[in-house]
Amino acid sequence: MENFFQLKKSGTDIKTEIIAGLTTFFTMAYIIFVNPAILSQTGMPHGGVFVATIAAAVAGTLVMGLFANVPYAQAPGMGLNAFFTFTVVFGMGFAWQEALALVFICGLINILITVTKVRKIIIGSIPPVLQNAISGGIGLFIGYIGIKDANLLTFSADPGTYEVLEGGSASLNSTIIPALISFNDGKAVLAVIGLLIMLALLVLKIKGAIFIGIIATTVIGIPFGITRIDSASIFSLGDIGEVSQTFLALFGNPGIGTLFSSPERIILVITTIFAFSLTDTFDTIGTFIGTGRVSGIFDEKDDAALANGKGFNSKMDKALFADAAATSIGALFGTSNTTTYVESAAGIAAGGRTGLTSVVVAALFLICLPLAGLFGIVPGSATAPALIVVGVMMMSSFAQIKWADFEEAAPAFITAAFMAFAYSISYGVAAGFIVYCVVKICRRQFNQVHPILIGSTCLFIINFIILAMHAANLF
């Protein structure tokens, strides 16, 4: 195990990697319950999606750990599953089997651009100011997720409009504003207790502080009635058998064969695949840049191998391939885009540095098949504080930005702000790219912008135009 994962070389050990794996798992385990709840609204069998979610997480995370030897976990992505359900199926009228086919094709495209080095060229084109902004922005994004999951925010709206979509989802307008709760919510109080415990343990430099904090908060939640130790698995063996209805369903009818059967839908199919691929690609790149550079997982030596090496000579090369392959694998099982989870930062903060962390996460997901109820007793109030403290740790990248220089501060701030407030890594990257290019044009320094960065910016703009056209029902 030492030789395979190179633990000593990475400055870690088996115990640390196990704790890191447990930490990452508990911060992202919610996906095995949330993903089926979202995708089943399309008509997909709930139990089938449950098994597909776990299968995709296990397969994708094992590839990341055993092939790339990096401590990242993969699972069907939040946001991408909502896009799958409410935009692609409800909004555009695709059958869920066809939507799975779109995801499968997206994965193949991402594999292609990874093998042909397009992804690593994109990474090399991002200037240091934006890389630092992405790192800090992800910290802000993770922290906001934690604060929201801790139930510390309440949202209210001025009298305005909202649109109720098919499936019961509501799209609210921009008059919605957040505010701090009145602390009459037991879940929020428990989350604050958990946060204070983690902060104290970290200040005292207790090893495994984040994981210990999660467990301690879970135990404290028992008398609160928030941690339900009497919870039983909510999936029967009959439900698990429903995986036969989702596995390889994309090859059925409807499915991949019907996507291109109607000439008038060709443009719609292509633009939807483009939207899936662009979001997935930059979510992953942002996560790797934001967490890998700060922690040293992707160091200068790895950067050099990424830029100059051939084949899969760097950890980043291998990690990008693992991420791309996981999307198509997940679609085969029957779930939306599988992607690298930003919550992996919690395990990295706990000391995870190698693929052994990922193998531990994969093993825990596999155990969830018969023991979903056991892992489900860990409340969001226990894992949310972990995301908040990880967000604090990642803000150090902002120190590298020259905030007194408006030309550097503007794209950096826009990147971080949009990443958190638009609730999307890729949208934050897009906003930062656009503002960076505008700044360089105004300074007559556009020739200093890497052509790939210009191309990526144009693709983002095209994507926004396509989304606007979809919203206006223009095609």
pLDDT in tens, 54-97: 999 999 999 999 998 999 999 998 778 877 887 788 877 889 99
Give the C-alpha separation, 33 to 50, whole Å.
Answer: 7
Residue 169 pLDDT > 90, yes or no?
A: no
pLDDT at 173: 60
Numbers of helices and strands, H then E, in the chain: 23, 6
Residue with tokens 């990147």: 415
Confidence of residue 161 (pLDDT cuts 50, 70, 90): low
Q: Compare 17 and 380 and report the one with higher pLDDT.
A: 17
Neighbours of 439 (CB within 10 A): 18
Are the beta carbons of 366 and 54 closer than 8 angstroms? yes
Residue 475 pLDDT > 60, yes or no?
A: no
Annotate 314-382 with three-state secondary structure: CHHHHHHHHHHHHHHHHHHHCCCCEEECCCHHHHHHCCCCCHHHHHHHHHHHHHHHHHHHHHHCCCHHH
Per the DSSP assignment, residues forming a β-bridge with 412 are none
SS3 171: strand
pTM beyond cutoff 0.85? no
Give the C-alpha separation, 446 to 358, whole Å.
Answer: 41
pLDDT at 275: 74
Neighbours of 25 (CB within 10 A): 28
State mean pLDDT over 121-144: 83
| Domain edges within the chain | 2-471
Q: Outline where 75-181 has alpha helix (H).
A: 80-82, 96-115, 118-125, 128-149
Check residue 157 and report its DSSP letter. Answer: E
* C-alpha dihedral (439, 441, 443, 445), degrees to nearest 10: 110
pLDDT digits (tens, 9 = 90+) for 206-259: 877 878 888 899 899 988 888 877 654 455 454 566 778 888 999 998 989 888
Task: Output Rg (C-alpha) for the chain, integer angstroms.
Answer: 22
Residue 394 pLDDT > 60, yes or no?
A: yes
Give the C-alpha separation, 397 to 294, whole Å.
Answer: 7
Are the beta carbons of 125 and 453 closer than 8 angstroms? yes
